[in-house]
Amino acid sequence: MQTTTQTFATVYATNACRHAARHHSVIAERPFAGSLATRKVAANPMAHGGVTVTVACRACGATRQENRNGRHVEAGAWHRA
Ligand SMILES: [Zn+2]
């Protein structure tokens, strides 16, 4: 389990934004269009059916999509600009 966690963190860190949420801004909002789950990103079916927002980090420029439905969030993988 520990080895799996370390591997996940190492791979994920290459593109991940480590800045706090206060640095993040929603720059686009669209209707829900599908799951953001990947091999590295867990699905959260409770967050499906609402809106999909694009979040950008003002500190480092990374972006990601998030499915939001009420208080439920499914956060996609970060992408570097
Ligand atoms: Zn950032």
Interval between CA 49 and ligand 1 midpoint (Å): 27
Pairing of the two strands 63-69 and 72-75: antiparallel
Interval between CA 27 and ligand 1 midpoint (Å): 14
Of 6-10, 38-42, 54-58, 61-65, which range is least confident? 6-10
Interval between CA 62 and ligand 1 midpoint (Å): 6
The string of pLDDT tens digits covering residues 3-13 is: 445 455 544 55
Interval between CA 64 and ligand 1 midpoint (Å): 11
Q: Name every residue whose Cβ is closer than 8 Å to that of residue 47 and which is 6 or more positions away in sequence.
A: 67, 68, 69, 72, 73, 74
The overall average pLDDT reported for the chain is 88
Interval between CA 16 and ligand 1 midpoint (Å): 8
The model's pTM is 0.79
Average pLDDT over residues 59-65: 96
Place 15 in a pLDDT band, splitting at 50, 70 and 90. confident
Structure confidence at residue 1 (pLDDT):
46
